[in-house]
Structure 1
């Protein structure tokens, strides 16, 4: 397999890295919008609410990208599962925000930021070597005594 073929097959990892950075940056933007709203700029609550929809969409893109890294590149399953958990948490976060349950909304936002950071760090440190088409994900392990 040529170097170009290997790079061409790594597109799921490039997608994961891009999505993870966008999720992290948008999570930071959410925190900034919330902070500015608290300082008295009431118009930013509308921006904060609208941006929550963007963050939700980005977390689903990240989940799909992490699943592709797992399936196509033989990466670990946990980033796909963690990305799905992140998408669910962002949905819960939206619900808490819309109902003004700030006692849950603010701490959950901190957790979301932490998980988004962990996934972005993983995406940029993971290295993949795509397996040739037709090979199974993992070879069976034979135990001999």
Structure 2
């Protein structure tokens, strides 16, 4: 959820910069580093869910893709390649939205810890 909220903040900062508040470009660039760090934390969390809780693979893969998208987004922004930077921002937003939706709606069929406890009791 933090990645999605920060992505929205990035869009707001960019929009306000475009309307003439030039100081917000500095904030937009600084927040890009925050977003990059958040996507790395999210990817690590997705791997933990995959390995420890036996969650699905796709959120870990999508999170890794999001790390790469944000990295490319930063590079295009620093190079002032807006023709690629702005559409890629939409892809980042879409990926962050899908992952946030999944995180709030996914219900595991059974917890590995509960299954393990039941097996131990049966033995």
TM over 0.5: yes
In 2, are the aligned partners of 1:72 and 1:130 still within 8 Å (CA)?
no
1:25-73 Cα deviation digits (max 9, x unpaired): 0000000000000000000000000000000000001001111111111
- Structure with greater helix percent: 2
- Runs of 4 or more, structure 1, over 4 Å off, are none
1:130 aligned residue = 111
CA distance in 2, matches of 1:53, 1:132: 36
Q: When the two structures are aligned, how many residues end up with a matched partner? A: 114
5+ residue gaps in structure 1? Answer: 1-20, 136-145
| TM-score where L is the length of structure 2 | 0.89
| Pairing 1:71–2:43 present | no
Tell me the C-alpha RMSD between the 2 structures.
1.2
Alignment of 1:104-143 (within 5 A): 104-128=84-108, 129-132=110-113
In 2, are the aligned partners of 1:96 and 1:102 still within 8 Å (CA)?
yes
5+ residue gaps in structure 2? Answer: 117-123
| Pairing 1:99–2:99 present | no
2:66 aligned residue = 86
1:18 aligned residue = none
Greater RCO, 1 or 2 (C-alpha within 8 Å, sep 6+): 1
| TM-score where L is the length of structure 1 | 0.76
